[in-house]
Structure 1
Amino acid sequence: MDTLDRLAEPGLDLLGRVDTLLAAGAPEGHRVWPLLRRMQVLPGEAVRNFLDLHPAPLAGAGHAARRLVRGYDDASAALADPVLWSGPAASTYGQARTALLRHLDEGPESLVGRLESTAGYADALADWVEGSRRALARALADVLRSAEAVAVVAATSVPGGGPGHRGPAGPGGTEAAEIAARVLAVLCVAYDGAETLLRQWGPSLAESRWWEPVADRPRYDAPTRIGW
């Protein structure tokens, strides 16, 4: 459990009240409007969804991908062992073996290269989640102890004072918009970071392409010699 988990209960309670007030609208021209249009979600729901993101499963996926590399290394070593034979069949086999070795472990577009890129991407996502959770926890801590939070709680604690009885300029409306703006701004930065990671890593996560070996024309006029 990290700081965000510990702040989740009071944070979601406050943001639920913020959502209630925002349901009546926000003050015209407030900076929360472009954030709401971009995120297409109220802050309470946005934070609730983000709470499900944890770095540990992503870091575990990176470790699992790297463990698979050893199997490819073993296969490559077996293919690289010298074979004591010669002749047309040996030549054709050698061309196929060279192509398979290249596909398995030669450069970033090989299977091993793609596995290492996948592991790196998983690690980068884990770091992104961890950093974003810290930033969101700081934002929640700030709004929970703010004067705006006091105004929002007071406005939503009045009996019979549902959203239908308030307008965007009513009690707590401006304060709710300010809290929403602070929280949504942090989440916008977080999601910008995720999109940046995808752009950076996307090319190296593409499917590994198989290149057919360049084979000579088959010959049948020479013997195959094995084991000398």
Structure 2
Amino acid sequence: MDALDRLAEPGLDLLRRVDTLIAAGVPEGHPVWPLLRRMQVLPGDAVRGFLDLHPVPLASAGHAVRRLVRGYDDVSAALTDSVLWSGAAATAYGQQRAALLRHLDEGPDSLVGRLESTAGYADALADWVEGSRLALARTLADVLRSAEAVAVVSATATGASTRPGPVGPGVADAAEIAARVLAVLCVAYDGAETLLRQWAPSLAESAWRPPTDGRPRYDQPTRVGW
């Protein structure tokens, strides 16, 4: 359990009240408007969805992917064993074997290269989730102890007389809290999009690279030695 998990219950209670107030309307020109348009969700729902993101499963996925590399290493080792034969068939086999070795484990475009990139991307996402959860937790901690939070709770308390619309009690305070929460979530999702752009080239499908030595000749004898 991290700081965001510990703040989830009081934070969601406050944001539920915030959502109720801003759903009735927000003053024109308030900074929360562009954030609402971009996120297309109220802050309470946005935070509730973000709570499901945890770094541990992503980091575990990265470790699991790296463990697969050992199997590719074993196959590559088998392909590099010397074979005592010569001739056209041996040449054709050697060309295909070299191409397969390149495809398995030669450079970032190989299968092993793609596995390592996938594991690295999972690690980067885990770091992004951890950092974003910490930033959101700090924001929730700040708004929970703010004067705006007091005004929002007072305006939504049982028996409180509320007036619908953007000029009602606590609405401006709710909009301020919503703007702060949505702003940090916007930064978080910008970070996720940046990661995807950065890693996308190295996560593409590994294309097969055929042998580069041309077609083998079959008009020569094959000699096998043991």
**In the alignment, is residue 192 of structure 1 matched against residue 190 of structure 2?**
yes
* Contact 2:154/2:160 (<8 A) preserved: no
Equivalent residues of 2:22, 2:171 under 8 A apart? yes
1:220 aligns with 2:213: no
Unpaired runs of 5+ residues, structure 1, are none
Report the Cα distance in structure 1 between the residues aligned to 2:33 and 2:159, rounded to whole angstroms: 28
Shift of 1:220: 3.5
Q: Does 1:143 align with 2:106?
A: no
Instruction: Give the Å deviation of 1:218.
Output: 4.4
Alignment partner, residue 110 of structure 2: 110
- For 1:91 and 1:204, the matched residues in 2 are separated by 32
- Which residue identity lines up with residue 194 of structure 1 in the other structure? A
Partner SS for 1:27: coil
The correspondence of residues 52-67 of structure 1 with structure 2, limited to 5 A, is: 52-67=52-67
In structure 1, give the amino acid aligned to 2:7: L
TM-score by length of 1: 0.96
8 Å contact kept, 1:92–1:216:
no
Aligned-partner Cα distance in 1 for 2:129–2:214:
52
Task: Please state how far the C-alpha of 1:129 moved relative to its aligned partner.
Answer: 0.1
Range that drifts further, 212-221 or 59-68: 212-221
TM-fit CA distance, 1:167: 1.2
| Secondary structure at the counterpart of residue 53 of structure 2 | coil
Task: Report what 1:43 is aligned to.
Answer: 43
> Which residue of the partner structure matches residue 177 of structure 1?
175
Asked if 1:206 is matched to 2:185, the reply is: no
Shift of 1:16: 0.3
Structure-1 residue corresponding to 2:32: 32
Secondary structure at the counterpart of residue 190 of structure 2: helix
Which moves more between the two structures, 210-219 or 186-195?
210-219
Name the Cα RMSD after superposition. 1.2
Conservation of the 8 A alpha-carbon contact between 2:32 and 2:175? yes
Find the residue that maps to 1:33 and give its secondary structure.
helix
Q: Is the 8 A contact 2:19 2:44 kept in 1?
A: yes
Cα deviation digits, residues 145-195 of structure 1 (max 9, x gap): 000000000001142756xx4211110000000000000000000000000
Distance 2:130 2:216 in 1: 57
Equivalent AA in structure 2 for residue 176 of structure 1: A
Answer yes or no: is the 8 Å Cα contact 1:92–1:215 preserved in 2. Answer: no
**Paired residue type of 2:48:** R
Displacement of 1:54 after TM fit?
Answer: 0.0
The CA distance in 2 between the partners of 1:190 and 1:65, in whole Å, is: 25
Mapped partners of 2:151, 2:103: distance in 1: 63
Distance in 2 of aligned mates of 1:25 and 1:84: 82
Cα distance, 1:102 vs structure 2: 0.3
Q: How many residues align?
A: 226
Deviations 1:203-226 (A, max 9, x none): 000000001223544433322111
In the alignment, structure 2 segments of 5+ residues that lack a partner are none
TM-score, normalised by the number of residues in structure 2: 0.97
Amino acid of the residue matched to residue 70 of structure 2?
R
Q: CA deviation at 1:74?
A: 0.8
